[in-house]
């Protein structure tokens, strides 16, 4: 959500800015020391890695803004956005990897900064690292999970985000469908929209638009960052020293960063990254193996696909372009599978990835065990089923019930159940309900449009408005 900090790395340094313009900008940064006493760290790779985290900070928002942008509730000492930003060694590329806040993580041994209590290593959700141990434990946890050595740490909140978007004159976002979220107040019709700071915050915070939840939100955050880069690079900010300094000061005014991130780093990157554009940026979400991995005492977590994630982070360590790596892998995969593709059953391409769709199965027939059979079949094609099918009311036709906010997910599920009836049920929530009817003939394999690569990466010019 807090794209302003990522922009501080990938765009704030993107023009041919002189030392006189950059000098003194770092005085507005609040300093932290996340690397203090760290041991057994990963080996350094090539390029520069910046851990970007977004914190709550709603205690700094005005009452009017809280009401207008639905930022109610007490502030929390937590993070809900974690990004690993890699700047290539030649300073010509920025790779942004989104890490789900609910990722299953193994918390290293540490002392709770609030209670002073010592904790042994234990499983948690990723965003708990900041709550228990602040920036230091967050860096340690991410390094442990990724094997990537973090060079710099940046942290930003609601205030910095909104002020930065307003400082660059807003950001243009395009959508092919309506985007509505009653929790954040987001309400965008299909088309092109110019978002101010508050509206942009709604856009990147929304996670109740469809069944994609946090995964969909991360994709919107990536799309937004690409649009923000385009606005800065095309809007004359980088070519106007006075304008640049105004925007940079706004960006960095509420940022927290490590001691070594300062004027010299800004200037070195500025000189190296002259000509930076949206096409110079690439975005990827860490590959997911299980969207609802249960952990006792914690609840449902997001479990990474260990093998695919390892390949992604190895590409970062090797300073390889992620988008290019994905294309190369897709080509290799297509080549090796060409001889067997004719024998494989054809899959139906759907709009929403099955792994992001939560499904509860009901058996509406008199056939014992059919509910379990359907649950297994849906899970086999990728859906996140509850694994606990139950007996439902008798049903002649297979029925898919869904909350209207999850309509795209419902259509993707129905594609796997040929002939199923779709029925919108207000307030149903994010879990779709399938009642198997007497017409059930089996589950059709479905998949989201994908490259076939171990991870899917896009460049910024692919996701901004045409």
pLDDT at 230 over 50: yes
pLDDT in tens, 328-365: 444 444 444 434 444 445 678 887 778 878 999 999 99
Secondary structure letter of residue 339 according to DSSP: T
Q: Which of 440, 305, 322 minimizes the C-alpha distance to 382?
A: 305
Q: Which two tokens stand for residue 402?
A: 């869904």
Q: For position 239, what pLDDT does the model report?
A: 61
The lowest-confidence range among 71-85, 95-109, 260-274, 321-335 is 321-335
pLDDT at 375 over 80: yes
**Tell me, what's the pLDDT at 72?**
58
Which carries the bigger pLDDT value, residue 335 or residue 72? 72
Look at 342-346, 374-378, 402-406 and tell me which has the smallest mean pLDDT.
342-346
- Domains for the chain: give ranges and CATH numbers: 3-328+455-462 (3.40.630.190), 348-444 (3.30.70)
CB 92 within 8 A of CB 273: yes
pLDDT tier for residue 401 given thresholds of 50, 70 and 90: very high
371 has pLDDT over 60: yes
More confident residue, 256 or 380: 380
Mean per-residue pLDDT, 287-313: 91
pTM over 0.85, yes/no: no
CB 370 within 8 A of CB 436: yes
- Res 344: pLDDT: 45
How does residue 61 score in pLDDT terms, banded at 50, 70 and 90? Answer: low
Q: Comparing 73 with 111, which gets the higher pLDDT?
A: 111
| Residue 325 pLDDT > 60 | no
Residue 225 near residue 232 (C-beta atoms within 8 A): no
Q: Is the pLDDT of residue 392 over 90?
A: yes
The kind and range of the H/E element at 129 are helix 128-146
Does 1 have pLDDT greater than 50?
no
CB 53 within 8 A of CB 81: yes
């Amino acid at each position: 959500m807090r794209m302003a900090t990522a922009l501080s790395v990938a765009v704030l340094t993107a023009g041919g800015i002189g030392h006189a313009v950059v000098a003194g900008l770092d005085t507005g940064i609040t300093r932290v020391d996340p690397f203090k006493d760290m041991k057994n760290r990963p080996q350094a790779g090539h390029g520069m890695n910046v851990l970007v985290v977004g914190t709550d900070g709603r205690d700094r928002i005005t009452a009017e803004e809280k009401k207008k942008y639905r930022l109610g509730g007490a502030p929390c000492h937590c993070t809900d956005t974690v990004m690993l930003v890699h700047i290539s060694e030649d300073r010509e590329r920025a790779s942004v990897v989104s890490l789900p806040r609910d990722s299953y993580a193994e918390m290293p041994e540490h002392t709770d900064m609030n209670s002073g209590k010592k904790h042994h290593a234990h499983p948690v959700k990723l965003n708990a690292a900041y709550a228990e141990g602040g920036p230091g434990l967050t860096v340690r946890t991410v390094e442990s999970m990724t094997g990537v050595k973090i060079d710099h740490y940046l942290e930003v909140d609601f205030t910095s985000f909104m002020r930065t978007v307003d400082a660059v004159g807003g950001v243009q976002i395009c959508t092919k469908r309506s985007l509505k979220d009653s929790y954040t107040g987001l309400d965008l019709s299909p088309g092109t929209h110019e978002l101010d700071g508050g509206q942009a915050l709604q856009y990147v915070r929304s996670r109740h638009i469809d069944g994609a939840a946090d995964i969909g939100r991360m994709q919107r955050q990536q799309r937004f960052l690409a649009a923000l880069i385009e606005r800065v690079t095309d809007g004359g900010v980088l070519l106007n020293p006075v304008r640049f300094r105004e925007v940079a000061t706004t960006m960095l005014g509420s940022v927290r960063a490590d001691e070594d991130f300062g004027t010299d780093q800004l200037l070195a990157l500025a000189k190296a990254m002259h000509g930076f554009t949206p096409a110079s940026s690439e975005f990827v979400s860490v590959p997911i193996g299980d969207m609802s991995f249960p952990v006792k005492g914690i609840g449902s977590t997001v479990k990474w696909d260990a093998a695919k994630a390892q390949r992604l982070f190895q590409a970062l360590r090797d300073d390889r372009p992620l988008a290019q790596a994905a294309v190369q892998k897709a080509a290799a995969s297509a080549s090796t599978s060409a001889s067997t593709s004719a024998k494989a059953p054809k899959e139906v391409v759907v709009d929403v990835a099955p792994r992001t769709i939560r499904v509860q199965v009901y058996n509406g027939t008199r056939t014992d065990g059919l509910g379990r059979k359907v649950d297994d079949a849906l899970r086999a094609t990728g859906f996140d089923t509850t694994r606990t099918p139950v007996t439902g009311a008798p049903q002649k036709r297979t029925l898919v019930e869904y909350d209207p906010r999850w309509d795209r997910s419902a259509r993707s599920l129905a594609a796997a159940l040929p002939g199923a009836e779709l029925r919108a049920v207000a307030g149903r929530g994010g879990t779709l309900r399938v009642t198997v009817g007497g017409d059930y003939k089996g589950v059709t394999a479905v998949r989201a449009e994908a490259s076939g690569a171990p991870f899917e990466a896009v460049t910024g010019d692919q996701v901004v408005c045409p």
